[in-house]
Amino acid sequence: MGLLLMDGRNSLTYILFRVEKSLGGFVDERKAQLLKKKCKPLEGRVLVAGRTDKGVSALNQVCSFYTWRKDIEPIDVEDAINKDASGKLRVVSISKVSRSFHPNFSAKWRRYLYIFPLDNAEPLRKSGENHENFIFDENLEKQRNGLLSEEDTEEVILSEDDELEIEETSNGLEVVEKPSDFSVIKVDQLLQQLQGKVLSYKMFARDTKAARNEGPPTECFMYHARAAEIRLSCSDCVEGRRVMCVELVANRFLRKMVRVLVATSIREAAAGAENDALLKLLEASCRRATAPPAPSEGLCLFDVGYADFDPQTSLIS
């Protein structure tokens, strides 16, 4: 397990690329010769338990590295990673596992936390001006010029700074104004409706491959989904900073699913929607019915479990 703190400039892929290079010295001779024959760099392959997009942090990312060499001790691998990870990745626990172990496919659940500031939230909103918004603006311009059809832009994410939202109604898609204030209690009530159910979350995903847009690949079992207001210790605030903490535990998550769930829950809470609003949105026919992803800076992969999930370990109850 490792501590991975992202600053918004480097992705997990970039960090692990550096780690894989540091593990090159542990590759067995047969694989080393094969890499040399293929003119590939001498580096170890690292597998991870959960995806952390650019800007997303991880407190307990689980990684694995395999080698046939018998003379390597776990402490050697730990030292190599801590030395070459540029201070952005730190090993906190390491052990030998069987070759059948896979950090992703062997995991039974994953826990994500999203921290949303309730006071002076403007800096977090500004950080949302990212590549997703650029893609939307670029594709919208192409559509206006006849270079893209409306169907081609269905998967596109709307700008997070837009003052308007698109909502699916019985009359089709309608544009409505965004409410600004919301109740954390209402967000909690909305999320609780997802607990204990196997549901298709394709409407809450973004940038997924075509093969993962229909059927079982879109289905997730949500063990725990809660929200609560807490205070974080802060140097410039004696009483602590007010934030909303969203805890989501599921057997799997689709791409950007957590961030879209958080953003959509806030939007629906602000609009005073019924408690089953998220369940109804699962049946929508267009992803634009859900909100654009919340900024990545608020998201953290908290931990990954390889035994059955115990509700008693939930952080918010």
Q: Which domains does the chain have, with CATH numbers?
A: 2-106 (3.30.70.580), 110-121+163-313 (3.30.70.660)
DSSP secondary structure letters along 67-116: ---SS--HHHHHHHHHHHSTTSEEE-------TT--TTTT--EEEEEEEE
Pairing of strands 299-305, 57-61: parallel
| Gap between the Cα atoms of 180 and 109, Å rounded | 33
Cβ burial, residue 37 (10 Å; 0-12/13-18/19+)? exposed
* Overall pTM > 0.85: no
| Gap between the Cα atoms of 88 and 212, Å rounded | 31
Category of 146 on φ-ψ map: left (φ > 0), alpha (ψ -120 to 50) or beta? left
pLDDT in tens, the chain (317 residues): 444 444 444 555 556 666 666 676 677 677 777 767 777 766 667 788 876 677 788 887 788 887 777 788 888 888 887 876 666 677 888 888 888 899 889 999 999 999 999 876 543 343 343 334 333 344 444 444 444 443 444 444 344 444 455 555 566 656 555 556 899 999 999 999 999 999 999 999 988 877 667 878 899 999 999 999 999 888 777 788 899 999 999 999 999 999 999 999 999 999 999 999 999 999 998 999 999 999 988 899 999 999 999 999 999 98
Look at residue 194 in the predicted model and tell me its pLDDT: 96
Instruction: Give residue-wise pLDDT tens across range 82-131.
Output: 876 666 677 888 888 888 899 889 999 999 999 999 876 543 343 343 33
Instruction: Give residue-wise pLDDT tens across range 32-59.
Output: 777 677 777 666 677 888 766 777 888 8
Q: How far is CA 70 from the centre of its chain?
A: 36
| Gap between the Cα atoms of 84 and 278, Å rounded | 43
CA dist list (Å): 228 to 124, 128, 185, 237: 19, 23, 7, 20
What is the CB-side half-sphere exposure of residue 207 using CA atoms within 13 A? Answer: 14
Position of tokens 């909100």?
291
Position of tokens 């969203």?
246
Taking Cα atoms as reference points, which of 279, 308, 270 lies closest to residue 192?
Answer: 279
Question: What is the spatial order of strands in the sheet that 197-200 belongs to?
Answer: 89-91, 2-4, 57-61, 299-305, 109-117, 237-250, 219-234, 197-200
| Gap between the Cα atoms of 94 and 136, Å rounded | 42
Contact 53, 258 (CB under 8 A): no
Task: List, in order, residues 6 or more apart from 128 with CB less than 8 Å away.
Answer: 160, 161, 294, 295
